[in-house]
């Protein structure tokens, strides 16, 4: 009986594929058997010409467009950077990131969790100070204009729990810094915020009162 069910399912799949092929032929579209076809837009991704004077960057953009088109993605992202501060340097390269995976961070609530963790001015102020140089809690009180060490610890705790900040063991204990493998995430998040507040092509007011909040 199990084999009969499997055969029926396979036959149904074949019939569905045949119907899709007929439909695509009727509508004049040949992308019948591409992945995510139920929700993916039936478009051909093409790079915009002369987006950047550097031909190497234009070549990367063309490659991203081809990959996005061939795998029927919503998009692809490549980014790299370097950040030096406090005698430390971080370098990173992330290539051909699938934007479908990025969008899923909203669906599984990971994005909201991260933004809630760091989404206060006090915690961001601590992160900024520690990005610039490792320091003690006492130094954070003075540098970040906190009133007490308890106030610093209150905001430092969730940053440590989120694996963003750690206590440096050498040369002395009690000194905190941003985890080296988290620097790129913080910098790229700020790069995204810079894009969001860029008024080059439009005007917006993030400080406006939100009725839904």
**Is 86 part of a structural domain of the chain?**
no
**Is 40 part of a structural domain of the chain?**
no
* Mean per-residue pLDDT of the chain: 82
Domain count, the chain: 2
Question: Residue 189 has what pLDDT?
Answer: 95
**Is 103 part of a structural domain of the chain?**
yes
Strand 175-178 relative to strand 135-136, pairing: antiparallel
**Is 73 part of a structural domain of the chain?**
no
**Is 122 part of a structural domain of the chain?**
yes
**Is 184 part of a structural domain of the chain?**
yes
Indicate whether 103 and 15 sit together in one domain. no
Question: Residue 40 has what pLDDT?
Answer: 46
**34, 95, 163 from 41: Cα distances, Å:** 11, 23, 38
pLDDT in tens, 49-89: 677 788 899 899 999 999 999 999 999 999 999 999 877 88
pLDDT at 119 over 50: yes
**Is 209 part of a structural domain of the chain?**
no
Indicate whether 103 and 191 sit together in one domain. yes
More confident residue, 203 or 213: 203
89-108 mean pLDDT: 95
Domain that holds residue 184: 95-197
136-159 mean pLDDT: 95
**Is 48 part of a structural domain of the chain?**
no
Q: CA angle, 157 as apex, 153 and 161 as ends, to 5°?
A: 165
Indicate whether 117 and 28 sit together in one domain. no
């Amino acid at each position: 009986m199990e084999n009969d069910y499997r055969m029926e399912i396979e036959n149904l799949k074949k019939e569905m594929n045949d119907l899709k092929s007929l439909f695509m032929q009727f509508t004049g579209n040949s992308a019948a058997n591409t992945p995510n076809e139920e929700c993916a837009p039936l478009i051909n991704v093409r790079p915009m010409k002369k987006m950047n004077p550097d031909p190497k960057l234009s070549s990367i953009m063309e490659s991203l467009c081809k990959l996005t088109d061939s795998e029927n993605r919503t998009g692809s992202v490549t980014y790299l950077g370097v950040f030096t501060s406090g005698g430390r340097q971080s370098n990173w390269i992330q290539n051909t990131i699938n934007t479908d995976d990025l969008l899923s961070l909203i669906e599984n609530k990971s994005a909201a969790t991260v933004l809630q963790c760091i989404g206060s001015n006090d915690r961001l102020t601590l992160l900024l100070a520690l990005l610039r140089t490792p320091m003690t809690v006492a130094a954070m009180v003075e540098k970040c204009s906190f009133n007490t060490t308890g106030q610093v610890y209150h905001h430092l705790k969730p940053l440590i729990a989120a694996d963003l900040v750690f206590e440096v063991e050498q040369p002395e204990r009690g000194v905190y810094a941003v985890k080296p493998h988290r620097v790129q995430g913080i910098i790229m998040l700020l790069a995204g915020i810079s894009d969001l507040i860029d008024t080059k092509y439009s005007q917006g007011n993030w400080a406006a009162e939100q009725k839904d909040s």
